[in-house]
Amino acid sequence: MSICATCGNDYDKAFTVTWPDGRSETFDSVECAASQLAPECGHCGCRILGHGIETDEGMFCCAHCARKDSNADVNDRYPVPAGG
């Protein structure tokens, strides 16, 4: 069995993530992996599990957060709904 790098659980179905530089970590769930590997939104701090939005100022989970912390003129969809 393998020990999860996030929670310490000893689990027989753990998996290992290996980076191109040879570093690796073992996790017992995608949730534990995401809590260490996924980037955090520069505005609200949530983990970015999808594409997110990247501006010169940083990574954000959505256009709303990007607009709040940067000068980016971005929207989550087009056309922008009335009042949005």
- 3-28: per-residue pLDDT in tens? 999 999 999 999 999 999 999 999 99
The model's pTM: 0.74
DSSP state of 72: -
Taking only the tens place, the pLDDT of each residue in 33-52 is 999 999 999 999 999 999 99
- Whether pLDDT at 77 is above 70: yes
Cis peptide before 79 (omega within 30 of 0): yes
Q: Are 80 and 64 in contact (CB under 8 A)?
A: no
Residue 42: CA atoms inside 13 Å, Cβ hemisphere, count?
17
Using 50, 70 and 90 to split pLDDT, how confident is the model at 81? Answer: low
Q: Which residues are bridge partners to 17 per DSSP?
A: 25
What is the pLDDT, as a whole number, of residue 28?
97
Rg from Cα positions in the chain: 17
